[in-house]
């Protein structure tokens, strides 16, 4: 073998040995290096969260936000980047400690860190161990950071840090609109960075959850082992943000009505209550207040035994309305031409039907009375007379036309249907008691909308809380929806005059507003027991509209079991008067009374 061949063989042998040695170094000794560089890269899909739509109300000609989105932040760290940095895990933790709820200086394994007061050393060791793993690229270190805290942490210039934005629903007005809005439950799976918005619960947040939530998008990209770097992002599907809602609520009237309700509950020592105000021509909800309410920003603090507070009593709670229902009885009998406002009857004070006895309030007997006087003095036997003139089937049919016993389809969750099924029974007692609002149940929204039809010349409208929606800068205004003509315009006018007489000459005097005719009716209803019969509890209410000649609003004030004042004329009626005076002044309505 000549020299050149030997040299060539030697070179090949040396090169082969170097290649084998390098492969051994990479595959065996340097497998961690490969794992963190060559094989650390992978293609992942990640959700792009959609932004939840906001909710607004009116304030004059402007709109005002009552449900918005704020971000909190999760602090995510890459221990790999910390370990390989010049600063080291112990010093790194020492610097960031004030921002992760750690406050007392100590030593762990020779590393200076800060310990939270009262926190066990073993827990701190765990934190140090977590951020000291060279092969770890993702650790969730802190949640619920505010934007100011994020900026302060960024100013530290520490390695291995990133922040994931977590969307949070926020309600600037606290509990003022709680039953209208509901709340949004906590977001799910936010710790992984694949965060989607929460789910609407109760109110408009639940009813319009799909529209408000929008559609999340999807992106793919190369994610490196650092856990902090994305490359070549490719949006497979862009996120579609939710639409914005503009409600029909007037902020000023809502604020006044809620303050007024709170004052009335305190003054008359009532356990709960509601005020509902509708526009008479469109049945748009102008104000809706319930007490007690809740703070939707702190819904999670409500104990399970108190979850009933989330329900909206205006739409979800059916009650026996009592004497305010006499206006419906009169409307039906008038429209069927069975009575006129001047029709008279002789009040006997007591009626015996089916082994049951019906009496007037306080056992009073009034003698000969007109139908107008029946409303003025709230005579039970007079309401029975009017209903009997009409008959059970006719009365039931009018109640259905007014919307009782069916849903109004308002855009809020949890609506109750009420119960007028007693009118299917043939016994005379059920027609008689229903005529003055006992033995049947209605919801506040049904009752106010029905009386709103009287104020609207006999035409029933669909109650609604949405004025418009906004999507991609385009505003879509919702049109009011007419349901049916319940009574004739002439019947509505006659009944309005009778209701004005209640406020001029009857128990509704304290609802009057100087310069205006107010139409209304008082009610003091017994509360039924679940076991049958009636309890000692009562409901005081007043329902009415103004100005009577050209109504702008219809409203109901309802106070549950007040301890001060025997009847509604001394509690709910003056509360309505204050409400009516404010609204008429706010709308700058010209007086209709000379």
pLDDT value at position 48? Answer: 75
Would residue 31 count as lying in a domain? no
Angstrom distance (rounded) from CA 265 to CA 260: 9
Angstrom distance (rounded) from CA 247 to CA 331: 31
Angstrom distance (rounded) from CA 519 to CA 549: 9
Number of folded domains that form the chain = 1
For 111-256, where are the E strands, in sequence order?
111-115, 139-145, 161-170, 183-184, 200-201, 217-223, 230-237, 244-250
SS3 489: helix
Angstrom distance (rounded) from CA 375 to CA 11: 118
Tokens for 376, please give them. 């003025």
Angstrom distance (rounded) from CA 96 to CA 160: 12
pLDDT value at position 422? Answer: 95
SS3 563: coil
445 close to 314: Cβ distance less than 8 angstroms: yes
Distances (CA, A) of 422 to 71, 219, 419, 426, 485: 53, 59, 8, 9, 25
pLDDT value at position 140? Answer: 86
- How many CB atoms within 10 Å of residue 22? 11
Indicate the pairing of strand 244-250 with strand 55-59: parallel
pLDDT value at position 91? Answer: 80
Which of 432, 438, 454 is CA-nearest to residue 502? 454
For 270-316, where are the E strands, in sequence order?
272-279, 285-291
Angstrom distance (rounded) from CA 426 to CA 538: 28
Would residue 282 count as lying in a domain? yes
Determine the structural domain holding residue 290 and report its residue range. 248-586
Would residue 18 count as lying in a domain? no
pLDDT value at position 329? Answer: 98
pLDDT value at position 45? Answer: 66
Would residue 227 count as lying in a domain? no
pLDDT value at position 50? Answer: 85
SS3 430: helix
pLDDT value at position 228? Answer: 43
CATH code assigned at 490: 3.40.710.10
Which residues does residue 200 pair with via DSSP β-bridges, in sequence order?
184
pLDDT value at position 163? Answer: 84
Would residue 80 count as lying in a domain? no
Would residue 513 count as lying in a domain? yes
Distances (CA, A) of 6 to 1, 9, 11, 15, 112: 7, 5, 9, 14, 63
0.75 surpassed by pTM = yes
Would residue 469 count as lying in a domain? yes
pLDDT one digit per residue (tens) for the chain, 594 residues? 565 555 555 555 565 555 555 555 545 444 444 444 444 455 556 677 788 999 999 988 899 999 999 888 888 888 888 888 878 787 887 788 777 765 544 555 555 555 554 454 566 677 778 888 877 878 888 887 888 888 988 888 888 888 877 778 999 999 999 999 999 987 654 444 444 568 999 999 999 999 999 988 887 765 544 444 444 456 677 888 999 999 999 999 999 999 999 999 999 999 999 999 999 999 999 999 999 999 999 999 999 999 999 999 999 999 999 999 999 999 999 999 999 999 999 999 999 998 889 999 888 999 999 999 999 999 999 999 999 999 999 999 999 999 999 999 999 999 999 999 999 999 999 999 999 999 999 999 999 999 999 999 999 999 999 999 999 889 999 999 999 999 999 999 999 999 999 999 999 999 999 999 999 999 999 998 878 888 889 999 999 999 999 999 999 999 999 999 889 999 999 999 999 999 999 999 999 887
Would residue 516 count as lying in a domain? yes
């Amino acid at each position: 073998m000549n020299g050149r061949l030997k040299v060539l063989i030697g070179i090949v042998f040396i090169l082969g040995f170097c290649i084998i040695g390098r492969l051994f170094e990479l595959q065996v000794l340097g497998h961690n290096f490969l794992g963190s560089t060559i094989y650390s890269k992978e293609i992942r899909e990640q959700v792009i969260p959609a932004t939840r739509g906001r909710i607004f109300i009116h304030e004059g000609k402007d709109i005002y936000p009552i449900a918005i989105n704020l971000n909190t932040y999760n602090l995510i760290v890459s221990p790999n980047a910390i370990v390989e940095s010049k600063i080291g895990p112990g010093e790194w933790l020492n610097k960031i400690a004030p921002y992760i709820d750690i406050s007392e200086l100590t030593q762990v394994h020779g590393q200076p860190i800060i310990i939270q007061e009262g926190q066990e050393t073993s827990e701190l060791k765990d934190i140090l161990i977590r951020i000291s793993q060279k092969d770890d690229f993702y650790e969730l270190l802190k949640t619920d950071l505010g934007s100011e805290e994020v900026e302060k942490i960024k100013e530290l210039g520490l390695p291995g840090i990133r922040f994931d934005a977590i969307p949070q629903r926020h309600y600037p007005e606290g509990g003022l609109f709680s039953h209208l809005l509901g709340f949004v439950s906590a977001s799910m799976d936010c710790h992984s960075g694949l965060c989607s918005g929460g789910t609407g619960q109760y109110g408009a947040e639940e009813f319009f959850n799909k529209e408000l939530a929008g559609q999340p998008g999807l992106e793919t990209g190369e994610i490196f082992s650092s856990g902090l770097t994305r490359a070549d992002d490719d949006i497979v599907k862009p996120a579609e943000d939710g639409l914005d809602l503009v409600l029909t609520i007037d902020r000023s009237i809502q604020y006044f009505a809620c303050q007024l309700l709170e004052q009335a509950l305190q003054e008359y020592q009532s356990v709960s209550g509601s005020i509902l105000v509708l526009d008479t021509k469109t049945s748009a909800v102008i104000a809706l207040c319930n007490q007690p309410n809740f703070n939707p920003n702190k819904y999670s603090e409500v104990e399970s035994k108190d979850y009933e507070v989330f329900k909206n009593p205006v739409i979800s709670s059916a009650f026996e309305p009592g004497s305010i229902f006499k206006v419906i009885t009169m409307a039906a009998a008038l429209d069927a031409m069975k009575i006129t406002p001047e029709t008279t009857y002789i009040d006997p004070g007591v009626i015996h039907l089916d082994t049951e006895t019906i009496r007037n309030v306080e056992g009073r007997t009034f003698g000969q009375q007109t139908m107008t006087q029946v409303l003025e003095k709230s005579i039970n036997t007079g309401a029975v007379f009017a209903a009997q003139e009409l008959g059970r089937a006719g009365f039931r049919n009018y109640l259905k036309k007014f919307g009782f016993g069916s849903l109004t389809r308002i855009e809020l969750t949890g609506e109750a249907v009420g119960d007028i099924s007693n009118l299917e029974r043939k016994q005379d007692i059920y027609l008689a008691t229903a005529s003055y609002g006992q033995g049947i149940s209605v919801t506040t929204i049904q009752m106010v909308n029905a009386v709103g039809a009287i104020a609207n010349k006999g035409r029933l409208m669909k109650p609604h809380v949405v004025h418009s929606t906004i999507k991609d800068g385009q505003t879509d205004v919702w049109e009011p929806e007419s349901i049916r003509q319940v009574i004739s315009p002439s019947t509505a006018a006659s009944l309005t005059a009778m209701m004005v007489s209640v406020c001029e000459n009857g128990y509704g005097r304290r609802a009057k507003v100087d310069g205006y005719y107010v139409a209304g009716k008082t009610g003091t209803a017994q509360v039924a027991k679940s076991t049958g019969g009636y309890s000692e509890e009562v409901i005081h209410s007043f329902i009415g509209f103004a100005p009577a000649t050209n109504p702008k609003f219809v409203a109901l004030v309802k106070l549950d079991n007040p301890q001060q004042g025997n009847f509604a004329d001394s509690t709910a009626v003056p509360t309505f008067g204050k409400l009516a005076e404010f609204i008429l002044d706010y709308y700058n309505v010209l007086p209709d009374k000379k």
